[in-house]
Every structure is written in C-alpha cells, then in structure tokens.
Structure 1
Amino acid sequence: MDKITRKNSFGQWFSPINLQLFEEQVKTLKLDFYTKKLTTESFLKLLLFAQLHEVESLQALSDCLF
C-alpha cells in the first residue's frame, strides 16, 4: 500500500513556507489591500491544490471545489 497520499503531499509542500514571513511580506507590499475574499494565502493554497490534483482549467477547479 502506498503511504504517499495527496493530503500528506499537500502538507509536505506547504510546510516549508514560513507563513509569518509570508504574511509580513503581504502586509509590506499591500498585496491584500483591495481583496475582500480571496487572500494571497488562500490563493497560494488554491494553486497548490490545483497542482496536486492536476486540474486543467479554472472551470475544472471551480467544479472540483464545489
């Protein structure tokens, strides 16, 4: 049985990211200044999810999430 699961892989990809430093950079560069719902951190997680599940398009990603 394969021990490498998607959930496990997602955690391994996301764990090296220093979220505190990431959040400081977002505030410094004002990346979330005009956003209401999709923050930079959420967008990063969404991109990692799409890459892991090999989603082909934004429409397919939308369908996958809902």
Structure 2
Amino acid sequence: MDKITRKNSFGQWFSPINLRVLEENVKTMKLDFYTKKLTTESFLKLLLFAQLKE
C-alpha cells in the first residue's frame, strides 16, 4: 500500500508557504480589496487541491 495519501500530499505542498508573510503582502498590495469570499489564501488552497486531483 502507498503511504502517501492525498491529505498528506496536500499538507506537504501547503506547509512551505508562510501564510503570515503572504497575508502581509496581500494587505500591502491590496489584492483582496474587492473580493468578498474567494481570498488569495483560499484561491491558493483551491489551486493546489485542483492540481492534486488532476
């Protein structure tokens, strides 16, 4: 059996991303100024999940 599951792989891909620095940059550049629900962090998670699911 393969020990690497999708949940573990997703955590390994997402763990190197420093969310605190990402949030500071998003606020500085006002990237989420007009968005209500799909923030930069949730978009990044969605993109990584889509890559994982192919």
- Please indicate the TM-score interval, normalised by the length of the shorter structure: over 0.9
| Aligned structure 1 segments of 4 or more residues deviating by more than 3 angstroms | none
Once the two structures are superposed, the pairs formed by residues 1-66 of structure 1 within 5 Å of their partners are 1-54=1-54
Aligned residues: 54
**What RMSD, in angstroms, separates the aligned Cα atoms of the two structures?**
0.4
Query: Structure 1-normalised TM-score?
Result: 0.81
Aligned-pair CA distance for 1:15: 0.1
1:41 alignment partner AA: E
SS in 1 for 2:3: coil
Deviation string, structure 1 residues 16-38 (Cα, Å, up to 9, x no partner): 00000000000000000000110
Paired with 1:6 and 1:46, the residues of 2 have a C-alpha distance of 14
Query: Structure 2-normalised TM-score?
Result: 0.98
More relative contact order in 1 or in 2 (CA 8 Å, sep 6+)? 2
Aligned-pair CA distance for 1:39: 0.3
1:38 alignment partner AA: L
